[in-house]
Amino acid sequence: MSLLISSFLIIAFTTSSLKASELVTVPKGKVEAIWLSPVSKKAKVKSNKVIIAVDAFRTQIYPVTVTQFREFLGIHPEWSKSNTSSLFKDDYYLRDLETAPEKAPVTFVTWFAARAYCESYGLRLPTINEWEYAAAASESNRNANREEKFLRRILNWYGEPQGERLKDVGSIYKNVYGIWDMHGLIWEWVDDFNSSFVTGESREDSSFNKDMFCGAGALSSADKENYAAFMRFAFRSGLKGKSAVWNLGFRCVR
């Protein structure tokens, strides 16, 4: 009997968490991969742009909060600070989970733990292409990657010093897809953060090079104006799966 009651509570608890993590649909489309550049002569003649097709997907509206991750640990104590193997965490893992505000995004969380969280709810981390596609949207434009005001706002946030605490989720801005805080609150894990090459295909021309993730890649990229994008790729390239950073969190997609 006790086992049945326990199972029921776990199912009910999980269902409640999923409802709290509302998803919104991001329609399929294409994103100009300004962090890439064509390398073949044929590709350069054809265009100096790399266009990546992204299928429709559903994403959490908000980054995962401290409260949601505490609930996850209640179901999966193997990912608690004391139980997680050192293979999957560094010394900063969940450093402020006990003291952080409930509605703040969870940070100091590793890629391994973020992935486990998403998988526990039948979700996954977004790919680089999916994240960049969704993050290109402003409040009024699906692709604001060439809007000076939009890019300047991101760079200003990147230049802000670390504050005493992170703001609550839903406090920065909502883009045209209904997604909150793609920029301005935290950096976010993506599933293929450590890929040497972007896996997204170019349906316009398959001969484009996938060089980036480093300063040299940035300098050879097609659009040097979007320095914010280069900073994101440089940041990701410096991470390890067990890295835990004060302003690095995540959200899940399906």
> Above 90 in pLDDT, residue 161?
no
Query: Half-sphere exposure of 208 toward its Cβ, with a 13 Å CA cutoff?
Result: 29
Spell out where 94-190 has E strands.
187-188
Residue % of the chain over a pLDDT of 70: 74
> Above 70 in pLDDT, residue 42?
no
Looking at residue 102, its pLDDT comes to 97
Looking at residue 20, its pLDDT comes to 47
Looking at residue 216, its pLDDT comes to 41
- Give the C-alpha separation, 184 to 62, whole Å: 13
Question: Quick one: which of 190, 186, 189 has its CA closest to 247?
Answer: 186
Question: Quick one: which of 251, 181, 222 has its CA closest to 35?
Answer: 222
> Above 70 in pLDDT, residue 150?
yes
Better-scored residue on pLDDT, 171 or 214:
171
* Pairing assessment for the beta strands 187-188 and 248-249 based on DSSP bridges: parallel
Looking at residues 238-245, what average pLDDT do you find?
A: 96
Which region among 23-32, 44-53, 109-118, 243-252 has the lowest average model confidence (pLDDT)?
Answer: 44-53
Which residues 6+ apart lie within 8 Å of 42 measured at CB? 205, 207
Better-scored residue on pLDDT, 194 or 13:
194
- 3-state SS, residue 217: helix
Mean pLDDT, rounded, of the chain: 82
Better-scored residue on pLDDT, 102 or 229:
102
pTM: 0.81
CA dist 201 → 8, 106, 162, 235, 237 (Å): 44, 32, 37, 23, 20
Looking at residue 196, its pLDDT comes to 47
Cβ atoms within 10 Å, residue 215: 12
Looking at residues 74-79, what average pLDDT do you find?
A: 98
Looking at residues 226-230, what average pLDDT do you find?
A: 82
* Pairing assessment for the beta strands 187-188 and 51-54 based on DSSP bridges: unpaired
Looking at residue 223, its pLDDT comes to 55
Could you tell me the sign of the dihedral formed by the alpha carbons of 57, 60, 64, 70, in that order? Answer: negative
Better-scored residue on pLDDT, 160 or 117:
117
